[in-house]
Chains A and B, each alone.
Chain A
Amino acid sequence: MYQTNYHRASSVQEAVEMMSNVPEGKYLAGGMTLIPTMKQRLAAPSDLVDLRHITEMRGIMVDGRSVRIGAATTHEEVATSVEIRAVCPALCGLASHIGDPHVRHMGTIGGSIANNDPAADYPAAVLALDATIVTDRREITADDFFTGLFETALEDGEIITAIRFDAPATAAYQKFANPASRYAMTGVFVARRDNGEVRLAVTGAGSNGVFRHRGLEAALAANWSPDAVANVTVDASDLLSDLHASAAYRANLVRVMAKRAVAAA
């Protein structure tokens, strides 16, 4: 790892100030992506501003069906939250299958979303749940937030402080995990509202990162049943092809995971 300078912030405002005073800083949350990347010398921030001790960024609030998760809340805290389980158990299930127990004890929802790894799990949930990403300066809808591979709408120095959404009537996440890394080779999060509206987001498969599949959404809005998936075509030309799976294989996985998700919802 290259040399770096560590700073610990105790409030969002302090973190933003610290960041504005350093040449090439990066925020550090759970560090479960950033530290391994720095160890590989694939990132070399001059400074790290640690967000883990900012109490206003931690914790879960559920009021009726509206859910607010502080950005520095760990995967473990989401996985075991009784409040979230009562209104959106699919999100607890998703969090409980991220990495391993030690990674879940450190890794955070804000870090996962800010990183926008094309194979990460949370981006699919945030997009399908039509969540709002709250930052130190504005609110961003999920549709506007994810802009490409490891790319988001965040500006320099902008901090995600919380994720907010209204729990849908029903939802489910199904992931086809890479047998070695456990990252999603294809993961599908589907959510259905009381008014019949369906949002379905796919991770692990898109060559531009997480995306909504409008064809599957329309088919499921018309007929909420696993069989509705059968007649939808998934275009392989926008999908990832790598040593783990070809685009055609992933296109089929999108349909299979969608079918399983609807069956599980």
Chain B
Amino acid sequence: MANIRMTVNGRQVSGVCDDRTLLVHFIRENLGLTGTHVGCDTTQCGACVVDMDGQSVKSCSILAAQAAGSTITTIEGLAQNGDLHPVQEAFKAHHGLQCGFCTPGMVMTAVDMIRRHGGNLDEETVRAELEGNICRCTGYHNIVKAILAAAAEMGGSRQAAE
């Protein structure tokens, strides 16, 4: 058995699980944070994307034991004091979701994409960067629009803050 300690959404957490337990199951079942989804068993859909130590990862393909000691942000950790994160706002404003199953992974992926590219994102880059995330509903178009809008807004607000 593994004795896991990590920081999740700013909180120190711990739990006991099998060495083989996947990070996504630890997050959902031990921590009760069910926003992170499982959509496939082939590491291809991206519904499980979380941030680990500052980078997006597929939590269905990492053991909880591998992630021990790390700092994790899940979809539940994005909103601050009840205010949606700008990427969440943009998905809402641009109808970037229908059933919502892929959305937590899409939003976490978008946050990571904007972290790496800043306000310089263009449509082609966004589409290429969505390689690891599958959506059965939207046809991606409004997801791309939402990410571009959020990138512009966050790039803009960063400039305003400087």
Contacts of B43 in A (CB 8 A): 32, 35-36, 103
The answer to whether A6 touches B66, judged by C-beta atoms less than 8 angstroms apart, is yes
Q: With the chains together, A106 CA to B56 CA distance in Å?
A: 9
Give per-residue flags for B39-76: 1 if the beta carbon is below 8 A from chain A beta carbons, else 0.
Answer: 00111001001000001111011110110100000000
Q: Does A26 contact B (CB under 8 A)?
A: no
Say how far B133's CB is from chain A's closest CB, in angstroms. 8
Q: Does A195 contact B (CB under 8 A)?
A: no
Chain B residue with Cβ nearest A96 = B128
Q: Does B19 contact A (CB under 8 A)?
A: yes
Contacting residue for B62 out of A4, A99, A106, CB 8 A = A106
Contacts of A85 in B (CB 8 A): none
The answer to whether A99 touches B131, judged by C-beta atoms less than 8 angstroms apart, is yes
A6-B63, A6-B66, A35-B63 as given contacts; A1 in contact with B56, CB under 8 Å: no
Instruction: Enumerate A100-129 residues with CB–CB distance to B below 8 Å.
Output: 100-103, 105-106
The answer to whether B62 touches A101, judged by C-beta atoms less than 8 angstroms apart, is no
Contacts of B61 in A (CB 8 A): 31-32, 35-36, 39, 106
Q: With the chains together, A163 CA to B111 CA distance in Å?
A: 32
The answer to whether A31 touches B42, judged by C-beta atoms less than 8 angstroms apart, is no
The answer to whether A101 touches B56, judged by C-beta atoms less than 8 angstroms apart, is yes
Q: Does B18 contact A (CB under 8 A)?
A: yes
Q: Does A28 contact B (CB under 8 A)?
A: yes
Contacts of A52 in B (CB 8 A): 66
The answer to whether B19 touches A102, judged by C-beta atoms less than 8 angstroms apart, is no
Contacts of A32 in B (CB 8 A): 43, 61
Chain B residue with Cβ nearest A52 = B66
A3-B20, A40-B41, A182-B131 as given contacts; A102 in contact with B66, CB under 8 Å: no
Identify which of B2, B20, B62, B68 gathers the most chain A CB atoms within 10 Å of its CB. Answer: B20
Chain A residue with Cβ nearest B2 = A6
Contacts of A99 in B (CB 8 A): 131-132
Q: With the chains together, A36 CA to B20 CA distance in Å?
A: 12
Q: Does A76 contact B (CB under 8 A)?
A: yes
Interface residues of A (CB under 8 A from B): 1-6, 8, 28, 31-32, 35-36, 38-40, 48, 50, 52, 76, 99-103, 105-106, 182
Question: What are 22 A-B pairs at a CB distance below 8 A?
Answer: A2-B20, A28-B66, A31-B61, A35-B62, A36-B42, A39-B60, A40-B41, A50-B65, A52-B66, A99-B131, A101-B116, A101-B131, A102-B49, A102-B57, A102-B58, A102-B132, A103-B43, A103-B132, A105-B55, A105-B56, A106-B58, A106-B61
Interface residues of B (CB under 8 A from A): 2, 18-20, 22, 41-43, 46, 49, 55-58, 60-63, 65-66, 68, 109, 112-113, 116, 129, 131-133
What are the 6 tightest A-B residue pairs by CB atom distance, in nearest-first order?
A100-B132, A100-B131, A6-B65, A6-B19, A105-B55, A35-B61
